[in-house]
Amino acid sequence: MPSTPWTKPDTSTRPIAIIGGGVMGRRISMMWISSGFPVMLCERVSESDNAVGYVQEHEAEQAAKQGKVPAELKATTSLQEAVNNAWMVIEAIPEKLQMKIDILAQIDKLAPPDCVIASNSSSLRSSQMIVNTEKNYRICNGHYYMPPDQNYYEVMSCGHTDPEIFPFLMEKAAQAGFTPVHAKTDSTGLIFNRIWAAIKREVLLVMAEGVTDAHTIDEMFRSWFKAEKGPCQMMDTVGLDTVYNIELVYTQQRNLDTTARDWLKENYVDKGNLGAKAGKGLLG
């Protein structure tokens, strides 16, 4: 790859900007803050209080695990305020391609040239999001799972990303308590997500066909794999609307059967039964 204008940004005085304070955005914010990295969280007014409350509730406990002092969290509804001095912007908005295309184009115009722009998408490739961006050398996937319970962090190129960004991000992520891995080729869904997507799809299909219920599936899964949580509980925690949006990407881009996806939409998403955040989901 030819050289790019990217240089390592100063991470000692500049914040991380996190765009979106939903289930993932607030957890990502909490992890970075607990490791001493200040965060600017950009979210709508209606959601920001919940996101800030989550961070404040958990940051001290997480920081104590790492022997660190929590950094400062600031919340804003202004994208420009959030990103104008950031050394990294983490996009954590819903799993919808056009929304991500639009937000990355705005961030690319507003963020400093050395600022890394990383999409938290678990199924969409950052190479699909750079339709209207110019500084593609600093754009990539940087996908988190469900911190602090699951702290793997996957990075993947948009096809134009400066290769020096990956060791830089992985080093910083390790400092924040994550376990970084590098997905080395363009992939719909990153490393574990492709495997996990197949598990989720089959679980939903078992339920759609009336073979058994969510409680039985989770009980058997926990016993068989010695896991703390079953797949239905994990889907309820993430949010069934998010699970649906991710499955929409997989079925469209990989030409997969849509039975499980359609059953989830009809029986849960359309009825507002979105899992833990709605008080009702696969586990009731």
Return the CATH number at 73.
3.40.50.720
Query: Given the DSSP bridges, would you call strands 150-157 and 179-182 parallel, antiparallel or unpaired?
Result: parallel
The C-alpha atoms of residue 135 and residue 116 are separated, in whole angstroms, by 10
> CA-CA-CA-CA torsion for 209, 212, 217, 219, nearest 10 degrees?
180
The mean pLDDT value for 217-236 works out to: 97
Please name which of 182, 159, 186 lies closest in space to residue 170, comparing C-alpha atoms.
182
Indicate the range of 29-33, 76-80, 185-189 predicted with least confidence. Answer: 185-189
> Which pLDDT belongs to residue 1?
65
> Which pLDDT belongs to residue 47?
67
Query: What are residue 119's DSSP bridge partners?
Result: 91, 141
Looking at 158, 183, 208, the residue that finishes a domain is 183
Q: Is the peptide bond before 148 cis (omega within 30 degrees of 0)?
A: yes
**Cα-to-chain-centroid distance, residue 9:** 22
The mean pLDDT value for 42-58 works out to: 86
Same domain membership, residue 268 and residue 177 = no
pTM beyond 0.85, yes or no: yes
Residue 11 lies in a domain: no
Q: For residue 58, give both structure tokens.
A: 């958990």
Report the helix count and the strand count for the chain, using DSSP H and E: 10, 8
Q: For residue 199, give both structure tokens.
A: 């598990």
> Which pLDDT belongs to residue 27?
97
Long-range contacts of 227-234, Cβ-Cβ distance < 8 Å, separation of 24 or more = 231/199, 231/200, 231/203, 232/203, 232/281, 232/282, 232/283, 233/283, 234/146
Question: Tokens 């209606």 identify what position?
Answer: 46
Task: Provide the residue range defining the domain that includes 98.
Answer: 16-183
Q: DSSP states of 193-238 as a string?
A: HHHHHHHHHHHHHHHHTTS--HHHHHHHHHHHHT-SS-HHHHHHHH
Same domain membership, residue 255 and residue 168 = no
The C-alpha atoms of residue 89 and residue 140 are separated, in whole angstroms, by 11
pLDDT digits (tens, 9 = 90+) for 117-136: 999 998 999 999 999 999 99
**3-state DSSP assignment of residue 122:** coil
Local confidence band at 213 (pLDDT 50, 70, 90 cut-offs): very high
Same domain membership, residue 201 and residue 134 = no
**3-state DSSP assignment of residue 253:** helix
Helices 240-253/191-208 angle, 10° precision: 100
Same domain membership, residue 179 and residue 203 = no
**Cα-to-chain-centroid distance, residue 44:** 18
Please name which of 16, 31, 1, 193 lies closest in space to residue 118, comparing C-alpha atoms.
16
> Which pLDDT belongs to residue 148?
95
**Is 43 in contact with 77 (CB distance < 8 Å)?**
yes
Question: Tokens 């920081």 identify what position?
Answer: 63
Same domain membership, residue 200 and residue 160 = no
Same domain membership, residue 111 and residue 218 = no
Q: How many domains does the chain have?
A: 2
Residue 46, pLDDT > 70, answer: no
The C-alpha atoms of residue 105 and residue 40 are separated, in whole angstroms, by 19
The mean pLDDT value for 89-105 works out to: 96
> Quick one: DSSP state of residue 164?
T
Looking at 183, 205, 221, the residue that finishes a domain is 183
